[in-house]
């Protein structure tokens, strides 16, 4: 991620919520924006940094990794990512919620 000196933790959360919401691909936008809305407030500082780095990845890659699609396996550098694991759990949508992109 681009270094943002002096960015408060709350500014970082707001920026990442916006970046999660404004993606190039609707499918990734839906997954990340609903994840961010539910989880950004509870992520640790290390997890926020990890999520910030993940937001720099290509949309289709994030989508395939989140949905655990075998066409694009998770790269080794992200296989132990607690944030990606949480996104994958969120993507499973075990409660069968109807998801919609949150308003800004």
Task: Give residue 2's pLDDT.
Answer: 76
CA 34 to chain centroid, in Å, comes to 9
Please report the pLDDT score of residue 95 as a whole number: 78
- Topology given in CATH for the domain delimited by 9-92: DNA polymerase; domain 1 (1.10.150)
The pLDDT of residue 45 is: 93
Tell me which residues of the chain have a pLDDT lower than 70. 1, 104
| Per-residue pLDDT tens digits for 7-37 | 999 999 999 999 999 998 999 999 999 999 9
The closest alpha carbon to 62, from 46, 44, 49, 75, belongs to 75
- CB–CB of 74/7 below 8 Å? no
**Dihedral sign of CA atoms 97, 98, 100, 104 in order:** negative
Task: Give the pTM.
Answer: 0.88
Alpha-carbon distance of 35 to 85, in angstroms, equals: 12
């Amino acid at each position: 991620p681009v270094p943002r000196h002096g960015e408060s933790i709350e500014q970082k959360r707001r920026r990442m919520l916006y970046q999660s919401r404004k993606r190039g691909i609707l499918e990734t936008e839906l997954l990340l924006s609903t994840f961010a809305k539910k989880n950004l407030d509870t992520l640790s500082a290390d997890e926020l940094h990890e999520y910030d780095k993940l937001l720099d990845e290509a949309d289709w890659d994030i989508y395939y990794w989140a949905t655990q699609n075998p066409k694009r396996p998770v790269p080794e550098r992200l296989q132990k990512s607690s944030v990606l694991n949480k996104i994958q759990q969120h993507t499973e949508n075990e409660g069968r919620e109807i998801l919609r992109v949150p308003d800004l």
